[in-house]
Amino acid sequence: MGLGGISLWQLLIVLLIVIVIFGTKRLSTIGTDLGGAIKGFRKSMGDAEDEEDKTQIDKPDAEFSERTSEATSESDTSQKV
């Protein structure tokens, strides 16, 4: 048994039919185009991650204002009483 119930012989027959329909030259062209598309996709994903990392480095983890910290301390003291 092969992949999902498809035997090796069935895969070879399908491959032979595809070669007869498209021809080897067209299949190599399709393979080259597909490989280039995948390579471009991976490169763009890597570039996006690099840009995302750079923006995360430049941003502070959190921003606190004086008012926020005062309000928090007031609520803490009112709960203790």
Lowest mean pLDDT among 15-29, 32-46, 53-67: 53-67
Asked if pLDDT for residue 22 goes beyond 60, the answer is: yes
Closest CA to 27 of 15, 36, 37: 15
Q: What is the pLDDT of residues 45-64, one digit of tens each?
A: 887 776 666 666 666 666 76
Q: Which of 8-12, 65-69, 70-74 has the highest mean pLDDT?
A: 8-12
Does this model's pTM top 0.85? My answer is: no
